[in-house]
């Protein structure tokens, strides 16, 4: 990839929509308020987008409610075709979308392109699922009556998404909701609203009727979205973000008994057994740890390595991680971008300091990066003691803490020693061990000899404090369908 020029960057930002998208119209926030979007690699303001008031958010819900009945009746084939056209537009505009995403989120262009392809896949997948919503017809056990089971859209949805995957965390919800016949109000993270606004423009161009998708951007998420969660016209809340915010939103959602899906934090263990192919494990670790600069809920948070291969694994991983180039994501040759903001960098810095103070060694990295942005060096920590916070807390940065284990039972116990349960990675060549370990892991997903699990065709989601509900796969659309049973009297 060649370096993106300043003019290219400016053109993309200028062309990007910056208003609220409500009822098919782009409009300013009430009172003309705006919020600044920052480039985390320079700390400079990239753009100003509308900063919605609670009244603006209610107007977005009004539009979603008004569009719901007609949208639920819209032919499934056409709902699918809109998604398919949107997927084609996303793919055709990958270059431009990637620049926008890199500028607001920081990840290198190649990673933005990978996210855009992944995000688009949810539209392609759910375009195909829209026409496969089925019911059942059965004879009642006593033979007298009949039972008809039908699936219907849940109704207007509220979606709240994080900044780390600005597009994909939206399309995982928007795709199945459109396919199922639901309308929605989406609130992207305030750090990365531009990608979601660009997606709204694409969906409108693809023929999505007015009011089906509404997007509000806001600096105060709680104040803006609180009234929507309390509004009895909303029927579903799907949230992706931190566990602490998810817990708060669940409490709020209980007032209206809103249906809820929660995609929350993670603390993924990466287990390498003595019988593993160490080179393959290092390759997988690079993906599991360094994808998105470690700012992923699926990021390998801690490496538990069998004692016999721990030194080899550490040396090889440190060599790979130490050779990564840190820098601005639009520059050629950059492998790792900045963290999203100073707060996130502070968390990473504190976790590394704590581990080192307790006896860990920084084999590579361990320092902030140069430059004005929120850079932190890709880091490998060896000999991390069991009481280091870095093993317990979500790192959300390019830091790989390594610790060792002596037997399988200890490995599984260490893996499960967390309140989170999103994903785990296991490297072993022993089939029986693989199945035993996979069955013993308390997670919603496992990467077996594979460092990446995300796939639009698979059910993504967690257990324990990582939440519930599944996005993608055949399960993904279930989150947006209610079941209605009809008892039929044949007498
Ligand atoms: P966050 O919880 O701070 O914010 C997520 C979203 O919630 C943002 O849009 C934010 O504006 C909004 N928000 C915050 N407080 C709110 C409130 N009181 N009311 C309504 N909305 C509110 O999380 P983040 O820092 O943006 O994202 C990082 C977290 O997301 C990590 O914990 C990560 O593991 C998690 N995550 C999980 C998944 C998954 O699928 N399980 C995927 C990506 C990220």
pLDDT band, very low/low/confident/very high, at 254 (cuts 50, 70, 90) = very high
Q: Per DSSP, which regions of 280-392 are E strands?
A: 300-306, 361-364, 379-382
Q: Domain residue spans in the chain? A: 6-264+467-485, 268-455
Q: Which residues line ligand 1 (CB under 6 A)?
A: 160-165, 169, 187, 189-190, 221-222, 225, 240-242, 245, 248-249, 263-266, 297, 394, 422, 462, 466
Counting from 1 in the atom list of ligand 1, the atom nearest the Cα of 248 is 18
Q: Residue of the nearest CA to atom 19 in ligand 1?
A: 222
The string of pLDDT tens digits covering residues 354-364 is 999 999 999 99
Counting from 1 in the atom list of ligand 1, the atom nearest the Cα of 246 is 2
Query: Average of pLDDT values for 241-268?
Result: 98
Class of 6-264+467-485 per CATH? alpha beta
Distance 48 CA to ligand 1 centre (A): 21
- CA dist 440 → 126, 152, 155, 198 (Å): 32, 36, 38, 42
Contact residues for 230 (Cβ-Cβ < 8 A; gap 6+): 252, 255, 256
Of 13, 36, 45, nearest to 218 (Cα)? 36
The string of pLDDT tens digits covering residues 176-233 is 999 999 999 999 999 999 999 999 999 999 999 999 999 999 999 999 999 999 999 9
pTM: 0.98
If one residue of 104, 118, 160, 162 were mutated to test the ligand 1 pocket, choosing by the most ligand atoms within 8 A of its CB, it would be: 162
Is the pLDDT at 1 greater than 90? The verdict is: no
Q: Residue of the nearest CA to atom 30 in ligand 1?
A: 241
Q: For residue 402, what pLDDT is reported?
A: 98
Q: Residue 283 has which token pair? A: 């390759």
Distance 428 CA to ligand 1 centre (A): 33
Q: For residue 394, what pLDDT is reported?
A: 97
Q: Residue of the nearest CA to atom 18 in ligand 1?
A: 222
pLDDT band, very low/low/confident/very high, at 309 (cuts 50, 70, 90) = very high
The string of pLDDT tens digits covering residues 409-442 is 999 999 999 999 999 999 999 999 999 999 999 9
Q: Do the beta carbons of residue 373 and residue 40 sit within 8 Å? A: yes
Q: For residue 45, what pLDDT is reported?
A: 98
Distance 140 CA to ligand 1 centre (A): 45
Q: For residue 384, what pLDDT is reported?
A: 97
The string of pLDDT tens digits covering residues 110-164 is 999 999 999 999 999 999 999 999 999 999 999 999 999 999 999 999 999 999 9
Counting from 1 in the atom list of ligand 1, the atom nearest the Cα of 249 is 19
Continuous H helices in 46-75: 54-73
Return the bridge partners of 351, or none.
none
Q: For residue 297, what pLDDT is reported?
A: 98
In the DSSP assignment, the letter for residue 167 is: T
Counting from 1 in the atom list of ligand 1, the atom nearest the Cα of 340 is 25
Q: For residue 385, what pLDDT is reported?
A: 96
Query: Average of pLDDT values for 273-287?
Result: 98
In whole angstroms, give the CA distance from residue 323 to residue 378: 9
Is the pLDDT at 5 greater than 90? The verdict is: yes
Q: Residue of the nearest CA to atom 21 in ligand 1?
A: 221
In whole angstroms, give the CA distance from residue 93 to residue 283: 30
pLDDT band, very low/low/confident/very high, at 491 (cuts 50, 70, 90) = confident
Is the pLDDT at 95 greater than 90? The verdict is: yes
The string of pLDDT tens digits covering residues 44-90 is 999 999 999 999 999 999 999 999 999 999 999 999 999 999 999 99
Q: What is the mean pLDDT of the chain?
A: 98
CATH architecture of the domain 268-455 equals 3-Layer(aba) Sandwich (3.40)
pLDDT band, very low/low/confident/very high, at 483 (cuts 50, 70, 90) = very high
């Amino acid at each position: 990839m060649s370096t993106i020029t300043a003019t290219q960057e400016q053109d993309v930002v200028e062309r990007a929509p910056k208003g609220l998208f409500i009822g098919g119209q782009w409009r300013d926030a009430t009172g003309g308020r705006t919020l600044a979007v920052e480039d985390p690699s320079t700390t400079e303001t990239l753009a100003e987008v509308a900063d919605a008031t609670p009244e603006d958010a209610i107007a977005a819900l009004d539009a979603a409610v008004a569009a719901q009945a007609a949208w639920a009746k819209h032919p499934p084939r056409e709902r699918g075709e809109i998604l398919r056209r949107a997927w084609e537009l996303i793919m055709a505009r990958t270059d431009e979308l990637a620049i926008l995403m890199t500028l607001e989120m920081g990840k290198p262009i190649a990673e933005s392109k990978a996210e855009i392809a992944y995000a688009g896949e949810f539209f392609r997948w759910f375009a195909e699922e829209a026409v496969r919503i089925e019911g059942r017809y059965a004879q009642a056990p006593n033979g007298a009556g009949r039972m008809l089971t039908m699936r219907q859209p849940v109704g207007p949805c509220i979606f709240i998404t994080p900044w780390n995957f600005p597009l994909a965390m939206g399309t995982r919800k928007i795709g199945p909701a459109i396919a199922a016949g639901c309308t929605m109000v989406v609130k992207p993270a305030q750090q990365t609203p531009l990608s979601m606004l660009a997606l709204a423009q694409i969906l409108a161009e693809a023929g999505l009727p007015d009011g089906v998708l509404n997007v509000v951007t806001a600096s105060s998420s709680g104040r803006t979205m609180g009234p929507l969660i309390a509004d009895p016209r909303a029927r579903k809340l799907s949230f992706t973000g931190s566990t602490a915010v998810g817990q708060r939103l669940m409490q709020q959602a209980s007032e209206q008994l809103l249906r809820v899906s929660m995609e929350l934090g993670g603390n993924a263990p990466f287990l390498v057994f003595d019988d593993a192919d160490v080179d393959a494990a290092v390759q997988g670790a690079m993906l599991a740890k360094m994808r998105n600069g470690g700012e992923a809920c699926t990021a390998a948070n801690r490496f538990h390595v069998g004692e016999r291969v721990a030194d080899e694994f550490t040396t090889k991983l440190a060599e790979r991680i130490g050779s990564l180039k840190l820098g601005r994501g639009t520059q050629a040759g950059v492998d790792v971008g900045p963290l999203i903001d100073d707060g996130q960098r502070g968390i990473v810095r504190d976790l590394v300091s704590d581990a080192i103070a307790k006896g860990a060694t920084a084999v590579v990295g361990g320092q902030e990066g140069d430059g004005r942005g929120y850079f932190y060096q890709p880091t490998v920590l060896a000999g991390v003691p069991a009481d280091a916070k870095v093993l317990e807390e979500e790192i959300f940065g390019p830091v790989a803490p390594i610790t060792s284990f002596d037997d399988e039972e200890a490995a599984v116990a260490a893996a499960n020693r967390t309140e989170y349960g999103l994903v785990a990675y296991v490297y072993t060549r022993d089939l029986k061990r693989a199945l035993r370990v996979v069955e013993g892991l308390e997670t919603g997903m496992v990467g077996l000899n594979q460092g990446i699990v995300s796939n639009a065709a698979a059910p993504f989601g967690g257990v324990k404090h990582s939440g519930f509900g599944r996005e993608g796969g055949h399960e993904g659309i279930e989150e947006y369908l209610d079941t209605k049973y009809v008892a039929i009297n044949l007498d």
